[in-house]
Amino acid sequence: MLEDLDLSRHLAKDDYKRHLKALQIDLIRLQQSVMREGLRAMVALEGMDAAGKGGAIRRMAHSMDPRAYRVYRVGPPERQEKARHHLYRFWTKVPLPGEMAVFDRSWYGRVLVERVEGLEEPAVWERGYREINDFERTLADSGVVLVKCWLHIDPDEQLRRFNRRLADPLKAWKMSEDDWRNRENWDAYMAAVEDMFAQTYSEWAPWTVIPANDKRYARIRVLQAVSDGLRRRAERDGLECPDPEPVRIE
């Protein structure tokens, strides 16, 4: 899936502002209509370091009601979490009816970082595919909307973003030794990502793979994916749904 991705996709600044405003309005209308009817959503954003996950989340959250919105930045599990099943800490974050949970990295750490970094034996992370599929199927069957996005950048663009961060005192804190180590394992991560798509793409929890070399384009595609996911589930459940905003990109 990654080899065929057109990373040159670009959105002009004026078009970006127009699309962003329309989609933010669309999301708040969906939140105030179908989610008030009890719809729940979990949004998982994955991608290499500096792919733009945080920026997309900020634009998504900008106009939504914060009382029904939670963002989780997922890092290494705490000691008490390591003593339990790896999905335990995500079960505890399943949203209540009418709420949305957004994950900056997610339960896919088992088949990505834990695989590439050798933190788990192959038998363990290979079993993770089945466990994740069962987890997502259970959530979907209970009415949770699942939106999964992979934001993809190339190594050259990642390096440019790393250098810009290091040159900016307000952003240098984002960089760590882990970022450089992950970069050295780029090819191993790409192999793990392709396996992840092949093993965990499903009708109830499909992947949306987004070209993210242009941050503006990627942000719009993420908001669009969330809007589409909520609208599809609402229509399937027979809920009254506001008409979508007319502006779209592919």
Q: Which helix (H) or strand (E) holds 107?
A: none
For 72, other C-beta atoms within 10 Å of its C-beta total 16
**Which CATH architecture fits 13-236?**
3-Layer(aba) Sandwich (3.40)
Q: How confident is the model at residue 241 (pLDDT cuts 50, 70, 90)?
A: confident
CA 122 vs CA 107, 111, 244: distances in Å: 17, 10, 44
Q: Which two tokens stand for residue 139?
A: 């959530």
**pLDDT of 227 higher than 90:** yes
**pLDDT of 50 higher than 80:** yes
For 3-22, the pLDDT digits (tens) are 899 999 999 999 999 999 99
For 69-81, the pLDDT digits (tens) are 999 999 999 999 9
pLDDT for the residue 13: 96
> CA 125, CA 241: separation in Å to the nearest integer?
40
For 38, other C-beta atoms within 10 Å of its C-beta total 13
**Arithmetic mean of pLDDT over the chain:** 95
Q: Cβ(7)–Cβ(226) under 8 Å?
A: no
Residues paired with 148 in a beta bridge: 44, 207
The domain spans of the chain are: 13-236
For 166-188, the pLDDT digits (tens) are 999 989 988 988 899 999 999 99
